[in-house]
Amino acid sequence: MEHKNKNKIAIFIAARSGSKRLPNKHFLKINSNYRFIDLCILRLKKSKLVNKIYLCTTKKKEDYRFNDICNKHKIKLFRGSTNDVAKRIIDCAKQNFIETIVRITADCPIVDPKLIDECIKLHFNKKSDYTSNTLKLTFPDGLDVEVIQLNTLIKSQKISKSKYNKEHVTFYLRKSKLFKKFNYVNNINYSNRRWTLDKFEDYLFLKRVTKHFLPKIHFSWKDLIKAEKINKSLINIKKR
Residues 126 and 130: their CA atoms lie apart, in Å, by 10
The pLDDT of 124-147, averaged and rounded, is: 96
Residues 200 and 198: their CA atoms lie apart, in Å, by 7
State the DSSP string of 122-176.
HHHHTT-SEEESTTTT-SPBT---EEEEHHHHHHHHHH---HHHHHHSSHHHHH-
Domain boundaries, the chain: 3-234
Percent of the chain with pLDDT over 90: 78
pLDDT digits (tens, 9 = 90+) for 73-105: 999 999 998 888 889 999 999 999 999 999 999
The pLDDT of 181-185, averaged and rounded, is: 97
The whole-number pLDDT of residue 6 equals 74
The pLDDT of 138-148, averaged and rounded, is: 97
Nearest to 114 by CA among 200, 43, 191: 43
Domain formed by 3-234, architecture = Alpha-Beta Complex (3.90)
Q: Is the pLDDT of residue 52 over 90?
A: yes
Residues 37 and 127: their CA atoms lie apart, in Å, by 32
The whole-number pLDDT of residue 4 equals 54
On whether the CB atoms of residues 88 and 58 are closer than 8 A, the answer is yes
Percent of the chain with pLDDT over 70: 98
Question: Which range has the worst mean pLDDT, 16-25, 77-86, 140-149, 171-180?
Answer: 16-25
Task: Tell me which amino acid residue 101 is.
Answer: I
Q: Is the pLDDT of residue 118 over 80?
A: yes
The whole-number pLDDT of residue 240 equals 64
Q: Which long-range contacts (CB under 8 A, 24 or more apart) does 153-161 make?
A: 153/86, 153/89, 153/90, 153/93, 153/101, 154/90, 155/179, 157/86, 157/87, 157/90
State the DSSP string of 53-73.
EEEEEESSGGGGGHHHHHHHH
Q: Is the pLDDT of residue 3 over 50?
A: no
**Coil, strand or helix: which one is 118?**
helix
pLDDT digits (tens, 9 = 90+) for 199-221: 999 999 999 999 999 999 999 99
**Coil, strand or helix: which one is 74?**
coil
The model carries a pTM of 0.92
Distances from the Cα of 27 to the Cαs of 30, 104, 140, 185, 215, in angstroms?
Answer: 9, 17, 23, 32, 19
Distances from the Cα of 12 to the Cαs of 56, 216, 232, in angstroms?
Answer: 6, 24, 33
